[in-house]
A and B are shown apart, each in its own frame.
Chain A
Amino acid sequence: DVVMTQSPLSLPVTLGQPASISCRSSQGLVYSDGNTFLNWFQQRPGQSPRRLIFMVSKRDSGVPDRFSGSGSGTDFTLKISRVEAEDVGVYYCMQGTHFPFTFGPGTIVDIK
Chain B
Amino acid sequence: EVQLVESGGGLPQPGGSLRLSCATSGFTFSSYDMTWVRQAPGKGLEWVSGIRASGESTFYTDSAKGRFTISRDNSKNTLHLQMNSLRAEDTAVYYCVKGLRIPDDWGQGTLVTVSS
Q: How large is the interface on B (under 10, 10 to 19, 20 to 34, 35 or more residues)?
A: 20 to 34
Q: If A1-B62, A49-B95, A101-B50 touch, does A92 touch B103 (CB 8 Å cutoff)? A: no
Contact of A92 among B44, B62, B95, B101 (CB under 8 A): B44
Contact of A39 among B46, B62, B102, B108 (CB under 8 A): B102
Digitize B42-69: 1 where CB-to-A-CB distance is under 8 Å, 0 elsewhere. Answer: 0011110010000000011110000000
Residue among A1, A31, A103 facing the most chain B CB atoms (10 A cut-off): A103
What A residues does B62 contact at CB under 8 A? 1, 100
**Residues of chain A at interface, number, CB under 8 A:** 26
Judged by a CB distance under 8 angstroms, whether A66 is at the interface is no
Contact A96 B101 (CB under 8 A): yes
A68: min CB distance to chain B, Å: 17
Q: If A1-B62, A100-B61 touch, does A54 touch B47 (CB 8 Å cutoff)? A: no
Contact B109 A102 (CB under 8 A): no
What B residues does A105 contact at CB under 8 A? 44
Judged by a CB distance under 8 angstroms, whether A17 is at the interface is no
What B residues does A39 contact at CB under 8 A? 102-103
Contact A54 B102 (CB under 8 A): yes
B4: min CB distance to chain A, Å: 9
Contact A41 B45 (CB under 8 A): yes
A43: min CB distance to chain B, Å: 8
Judged by a CB distance under 8 angstroms, whether A97 is at the interface is yes
B63: min CB distance to chain A, Å: 9
Q: List residues 11-63 of chain B with CB under 8 A from any CB of chain A.
A: 35, 37, 44-47, 50, 59-62
A residues apposed to B, CB below 8 Å: 1, 31, 37, 39, 41, 43, 48-51, 54-55, 60, 90, 92, 94, 96-97, 99-106
Which 7 pairs, one residue from A and one from B, show the smallest C-beta to C-beta distance?
A: A96-B101, A100-B61, A48-B106, A101-B47, A54-B102, A103-B45, A106-B44
Given contacts A41-B45, A51-B102, A97-B101, 7 further A-B contacts (CB under 8 A): A49-B95, A94-B103, A96-B102, A101-B35, A101-B47, A101-B100, A104-B44
